[in-house]
Amino acid sequence: MEPDTIPAAVGAAAPAPARAPAPAPAPSAVRLGVLTMLPMVAAFVPFALVIGSAAAEQGAPVAGWMGSWLIYGGSAHLAAMRTLRDAGPVAAIATGLLVNARLLVYSTSLARRWPDQPRWFRVVAAALIIDPTWVVAERHADVEPDPRARRRHFLAAGITLGLGWSAAIAVGVLLGARLDGLDLDVFVPLCLLALVGTGLRSPGTQAVVAVAVPVALLTTGWPAGTGLLAAVGAGGAAGVAHDRWRAS
Amino acid sequence: MWIVILAVGLGSFLFRVVPMLALARVTSSATVERWIRHAGTAAVTALIAVSTRHGATGRATGPTLAAVGVAAVVAARGAPMGRLLLLGGATFACGTIAVAALARGF
């Protein structure tokens, strides 16, 4: 899977030469972004409720809710709060950062996709990068070469997710301990599985999964978050090795 | 709590924005480009494994593993997210009821 290249004529700011009028991409890109993300928002509600409930249990509902926008990553948010309860603030900060270190990969990947995007967009979009928006942006970039349409699609998708995520965490905070009877933790892996989706049928993805999963499980005893990074590195290397093997 | 949220939030934003601003036009080898793409998938996959292990404790072990297994099959078949969650959640609920029933001596 090679990164696509954006034709200069499409990516340039200058108006294109005379050609058949095409439908304006902007409204459809926004609508598509919202519609693509809405099912994911619904799917991530149980995960958000878990986080909101955990924040309420720790007696810091406002700070916990603010994390929905400031951290904007459920796994790191939850891991940081649980570590704070068990091991104190320094360990909690380190854990949250290590879990979110995978964002370096997502951001680097999307930076390659958006070389012609304006600086303001890259700064704003950066705040919205997380697993679902990365998946959606990668898929959309495969089929949409127009930078403006990509921009509008990503912002629509990212803001939709952010609003839904934040609202669901707020509900979790309000419900608090009343959610204790519900075992919602299982929805965390289910939501993430939905992001990988049909990619599981791809041999390249299967190679990545076959390495990343055992490494992640074998390194759970490592300092918090470091095992995740080891799995990311090993899984990426497995994917590269698979590509080379297929090419040879 | 506030200091943790602010510190993790600031660090996370730097993880997001630095590559976006610094690496957009940096060229690298095809191998590195491929690794970046695969590493994203590896990150999501590793999170699935870790979160499954976290949830699969005590009586929830069997139901959690069954739910994730069903969801993986459904996801590979291209089912929409709602159906995946419905089937995974239903599997977990049925598994939990079955385990509870077994524990009571049925």
State the ipTM, two decimals.
Answer: 0.84
Q: Give the tokens for residue A178.
A: 């009343």
Predicted pLDDT of residue B18: 94
Nearest 5°: phi and psi at B80? -65, 160
Residue numbers in B near A43 (CB within 8 A): 81-82, 84-85
Low-confidence ranges of chain A (pLDDT < 70): 1-27, 177, 179-182
- Chain B residues 68-97 within an 8 A CB cutoff of chain A: 68, 71-72, 75-78, 80-82, 84-85, 88-89, 92, 96
Report H helices in chain B.
2-22, 30-55, 61-76, 81-103
Do A247 and A215 contact (CB within 8 A), yes or no?
no
Q: Look at residue B8 and tell me whether its pLDDT is greater than 90.
A: yes
Residue A18 identity (one-letter amino acid): A
Q: Give the tokens for residue A105.
A: 């990969």
CA torsion A225→A232→A111→A35, rounded to 10°? -90
Predicted pLDDT of residue A238: 94
Do A115 and B6 contact (CB within 8 A), yes or no?
no
Pick the residue from chain B with its C-alpha nearest to A85: B1
- Whether B12 sits inside 8 A of A89 (CB atoms) is no
Do A240 and A212 contact (CB within 8 A), yes or no?
no
Nearest residue to B17 via CA among A158, A148, A229, A120: A120
Full-model pTM: 0.79
pLDDT confidence bin for B92, thresholds 50/70/90: very high
Q: Which residue has the tokens 């005590």?
A: B58
Distance in angstroms (rounded) separating the CA atoms of residues A230 and A226: 6
> What is the widest separation between alpha-carbon atoms in chain A?
65
> Average model confidence (pLDDT) for chain B?
88
Distance in angstroms (rounded) separating the CA atoms of residues A240 and B30: 10
> Average model confidence (pLDDT) for chain A?
83
Residue A44 identity (one-letter amino acid): F
Predicted pLDDT of residue A168: 93
Nearest to B5 among A67, A197, A216 (CB): A67
Nearest to A196 among B17, B41, B60 (CB): B41
Residue B92 identity (one-letter amino acid): F
Neighbours of B47 (CB within 10 A): 27
- Whether B35 sits inside 8 A of A134 (CB atoms) is no
Do A60 and B2 contact (CB within 8 A), yes or no?
yes
Predicted pLDDT of residue A15: 44
Distance in angstroms (rounded) separating the CA atoms of residues B103 and B106: 7
Residue A118 identity (one-letter amino acid): P
A171/chain B closest Cα distance in angstroms: 19
Q: Which residue has the tokens 């965490």?
A: A169
Buried b or exposed e, range A139-148, using 16+ CB within 10 angstroms? ebbeebebbb
Distance in angstroms (rounded) separating the CA atoms of residues A173 and A187: 18
pLDDT digits (tens, 9 = 90+) for A1-43: 333 333 333 333 344 444 555 555 545 889 999 998 988 888 7
Do A225 and A98 contact (CB within 8 A), yes or no?
yes
Neighbours of A182 (CB within 10 A): 13
Do A122 and B20 contact (CB within 8 A), yes or no?
yes
Q: Give the tokens for residue B83.
A: 């159906």
